[in-house]
Amino acid sequence: MRDLQQYLRPGLPTPFCPGCGHGILMGLILRAIDKLELNIDDMLFVSGIGCGAWIPSPTFNADTLHTLHGRAIPAATGAKMFNPKLRVLVISGDGDLADIGGNHLIHGARRNIDLTVICATNMVYGQTGGQVCSTTPTGALTETTTLGNPYRPFDLCKLVSAAGATYVARYSVTQPFLLIRSINKALQTQGFSFIEALSPCPTQFGRRNGYDSPADMLKFLLDRCITKEKAKGLSPKELAGKIVTGEFCDGRN
Amino acid sequence: MGLREAKSILPPGSYYLSGNEAAAEGAIAARCSYYAGYPITPSTEIAERISVRFKEVGGVFMQMEDELSSICSAVGAVWAGAKAMLATSGPGFSLMQEGIGYAAMTETPIVIVDVQRPGPSTGQATTVAAGDVMQAKWGSHGDYQVIALSPWSVQEMYEQTINGFNFAERYRVPVIVLSEAALGHLRERMDVREKVQLFDRVKKAGAAPFGTEEDDGVPPMPSFGEGQKLLVTGSTHNDYGVRKTDDPRVHEKLTSRLHNKIMNNREEIIEYEDYYLADAEIAVVCYGLTSRSSLFAIQRMQQEGKKVGMLRLKTLWPFADRLVSDIGTKVKKIFVPEMNKGQIVGEVMKYASCDIIPYNQTNGQIIQPNVIMAELETLLQ
């Protein structure tokens, strides 16, 4: 493995809070790029607004396009359509890609243009102070659901699969090797590939839901995430509250 | 780099086209290589023609899921090296505003043709208005400048679209061609010359992409894929694109340059035509299709020896402040007919010191020459 430092713009501090999973995810993405021996100068990193959008911009020492809130996929679509030689990777948060950008997400999957999208899901609007979003679990406490979230969360993998993506997977940053392998596959997929990467947010999600410390929040993901192979034999009751991880769509095969 | 002469794509000669078709041909003449849009009356023929013509001359056509994604995809394409255009009408123009602000902040050259129809909201999709004049200037939040052009003929739909691309590239700014429904659908003769003047994007490897030494400069524009490790962001940024979201000096410097690069060059940007102003007692200040009715009216009145003149603004933004101020010292009254409730008249009032009389019509129809004549007759008494 090459030195990952070469992929980072020099002299920048981490933008993330203590215990945030986005730094782990950043490292896993770079490991996947490194493993494939991709030339980062041939890549374009597109992000929207929010904590997840700060994973590539300005940290990655490459072309980065930090777009409007929710509009990373349209901007990536324009760049890729005009210059197909660019390997375009969208990295942004769940609020950005699934809430305000939800329509672009399903249309991106429908068009099946050769883009890779990594959604850093922390189940909350982190940067604005911890409001409910479309991936917040039912009943969870947030700054704007103080009696518990009354709504159901999106299953983004089902949504994006149904919309026609070629490769769809979900892993948590607590499953680092599976996640690297998945990013690796997504980057090699011709067509729209989507990975939901669960990332802990102790600062905004955890502390309102009984997972005050970074370790508690990581344990939350370790306890809840279960591979789809393991989930197979479980009853609905046993599956309650679990987050099923794995590859849900692999059109490359 | 800079201004050059190029062959026109349409063979030289005379054509019988609609304003919308002429805008599409103007874009193709300007070497537009990316078009994104969402269908909307009365602009749709622009997208339709480009989708067909791109198959012949090359270019990427994308019909996106809405106007938000259209403009954002255009910005992405431009940073990947394209020259991009969008066409829309009022409701779509409203949706594009966030992208216009983003393009202004990131200094992304794009051309937007807004074929105006009456609003607010859905209004009347198939009739005419000029109600987006202020939105073109102030539609997105914060301080920024754009260039807005106002064609009055099919010929000018062609030429102003080419000009729009040249201004966009030269000043790295969004340019809005403020057409009107009745012009978009008007068919008349359009002449194509053998050559067109085109401004090519200025490139300089390694130069700061978001800053210049001068406080009104336009930096060179690199593209993705050139190994320059670009940082493009709509957040406040320094000369190299690094986010500086709490440094007051960086924000002041950036917004000032975005303002100055247009305002300090406005004499070079602003185009106009004047008629019979030398001894006029009343000047009509007008733009777009209303200028055609106004010209008809004042030519008739000139034949009767009436001292009426006219200023036609071909550029609405930046506003021709010095010119209008100067006219205000020479005439007794300025008459401003508009297909809205009074938008440019406010600018005229800012700069001209004489009597200023608005005429506002929002019935979805063009202002007829006899209406302008009758108003001017009253003002002359």
Q: How many residues does chain B have?
A: 381
pLDDT in tens, A200-231: 999 999 999 999 899 999 999 999 999 999 99
Residue A129, Ramachandran bin (φ over 0: left; ψ between -120 and 50: alpha; else beta): left
The ipTM estimated for the assembled molecules is: 0.97
Nearest-CA distance from A73 to chain B in Å?
8
As a whole number of angstroms, the distance between CA B32 and CA B172 comes to: 15
Does the beta carbon of B220 lie under 8 angstroms from any beta carbon of chain A? no
Q: Which residues contact B6 (CB under 8 A, 6 or more apart)?
A: B31, B195, B196, B197, B198
* Cβ-defined contact of A107 to B60 (cutoff 8 Å): no
Compute how many other C-beta atoms are within 10 angstroms of the C-beta atom of residue B57. Answer: 14
User: Cα-flanking dihedrals φ and ψ of residue A17, to 5°?
Assistant: -70, 160
Predicted pLDDT at A251: 84
Look at residues A6, A75, A13, A52 and name the one whose alpha carbon lies nearest to residue A198.
A52
Least CB–CB distance from A78: residue in B36, B68, B223:
B36
Q: Can you read off the two tokens belonging to residue B159?
A: 């030429």
The position carrying tokens 């009254």 is: B333
Q: Can you read off the two tokens belonging to residue A12?
A: 């920048």
pLDDT in tens, A150-192: 999 999 999 999 999 999 999 999 999 999 999 999 999 999 9
Set out the domains of chain A in order of their start, with CATH numbers. Answer: 16-250 (3.40.50.970)
Work out how many CB contacts closer than 8 A connect A with B. 122
Predicted pLDDT at A3: 87
**Closest B-chain CA to A7:** B229
B313 near B133, Cβ under 8 Å? no
pLDDT in tens, chain B (381 residues): 689 999 999 999 999 999 999 999 999 999 999 999 999 999 999 999 999 999 999 999 999 999 999 999 999 999 999 999 999 999 999 999 999 999 999 999 999 999 999 999 999 999 999 999 999 999 999 999 999 999 999 999 999 999 999 999 999 999 999 999 999 999 999 999 999 999 999 999 999 999 999 999 999 999 999 999 999 999 999 999 999 999 999 999 999 999 999 999 999 999 999 999 999 999 999 999 999 999 999 999 999 999 999 999 999 999 999 999 999 999 999 999 999 999 999 999 999 999 999 999 999 999 999 999 999 999 999
With pLDDT > 70 as the criterion, what percentage of chain A qualifies? 98
Predicted pLDDT at B322: 98
A34 near A7, Cβ under 8 Å? yes
Looking at beta carbons, which residues of chain B come within 8 Å of A66? 231-235, 243
SS percent in chain A: helix, strand, coil, step 5 = 40, 20, 40
Does the beta carbon of B69 lie under 8 angstroms from any beta carbon of chain A? yes
Nearest-CA distance from A127 to chain B in Å?
14
Does the beta carbon of B224 lie under 8 angstroms from any beta carbon of chain A? yes
Looking at chain B, which residues constitute the CATH 3.40.50.970 domain(s)?
Answer: 2-200
Look at residues A113, A77, A58, A69 and name the one whose alpha carbon lies nearest to residue A93.
A69
Compute how many other C-beta atoms are within 10 angstroms of the C-beta atom of residue A40. Answer: 18
Look at residues B221, B220, B216, B219 and name the one whose alpha carbon lies nearest to residue B262.
B216
Looking at beta carbons, which residues of chain A come within 8 Å of B84? 78
Look at residues B50, B30, B34 and name the one whose alpha carbon lies nearest to residue B195.
B30
* Cβ-defined contact of A77 to B62 (cutoff 8 Å): yes
Predicted pLDDT at A216: 96
Looking at beta carbons, which residues of chain B come within 8 Å of A38? none
pLDDT in tens, B220-261: 999 999 999 999 999 999 999 999 999 999 999 999 999 999
pTM of the complete model: 0.97
A89 forms bridges with which residues in the sheet?
A: A45, A116
Cα B213 to chain center, whole Å?
A: 28
Compute how many other C-beta atoms are within 10 angstroms of the C-beta atom of residue A177. Answer: 10
Nearest-CA distance from B108 to chain A in Å?
12
Does the beta carbon of B241 lie under 8 angstroms from any beta carbon of chain A? yes
CA-based R_g, chain B, Å: 21
Look at residues A88, A143, A136 and name the one whose alpha carbon lies nearest to residue A113.
A88
Q: Which fold has domain B271-380?
A: Rossmann fold (3.40.50)
Q: How many residues does chain A have?
A: 253
Q: Which fold has domain B2-200?
A: Rossmann fold (3.40.50)
**Closest B-chain CA to A113:** B62
Least CB–CB distance from A68: residue in B70, B82, B234:
B234
Looking at chain B, which residues constitute the CATH 3.40.50.920 domain(s)?
Answer: 271-380
Q: Indicate if the alpha-carbon torsion angle B17, B22, B24, B25 is positive or negative.
A: positive
A55 near A120, Cβ under 8 Å? yes
Strand-pair category, B308-313 with B272-275 = antiparallel
